[in-house]
């Protein structure tokens, strides 16, 4: 998913869609503190195997990291566990900051 698509989805007035869409930030805590993704659930990639049960598989999850590689791996892992509604945010928080919200620091 492109960052502009996610931005459009998060500003939609479609209540059903906005209730079912969640962002999963798999970056390390220091990265999240430096450049937070608005309204994201934070589970670092290294903890996903022990914490995936915290995620509702019925929701639509958009996985995000710095540039999109870690989040792609997490999305593939969750898919193997039976999650069906998954996206990877292409370009990660870096692209989000560059194209959607320049107030978020780039690193």
Residue-wise DSSP of 14-31: -HHHHHHEEEEE-S-HHH
β 40-42/86-88 pair status: unpaired
Q: Pick the catalytic residue: 23, 35, 40, 65?
A: 65
Q: Is 65 one of the catalytic residues? A: yes
C-beta separation of 3 from 19 below 8 A: no
- As annotated, the active-site residues are 65
């Amino acid at each position: 998913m492109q960052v502009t698509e996610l931005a459009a989805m998060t500003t939609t007035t479609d209540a059903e869609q906005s209730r079912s869409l969640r962002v999963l930030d798999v970056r390390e805590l220091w990265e999240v503190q430096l450049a937070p993704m608005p309204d994201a659930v934070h589970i670092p990639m290294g903890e996903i195997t022990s914490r995936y049960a915290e995620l509702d598989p019925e929701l639509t999850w958009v996985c995000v990291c710095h540039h999109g590689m870690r989040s792609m791996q997490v999305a593939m892992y969750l898919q193997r566990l039976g999650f069906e509604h998954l996206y990877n945010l292409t370009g990660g928080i870096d692209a989000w900051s560059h194209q959607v919200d320049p107030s978020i620091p780039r690193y």
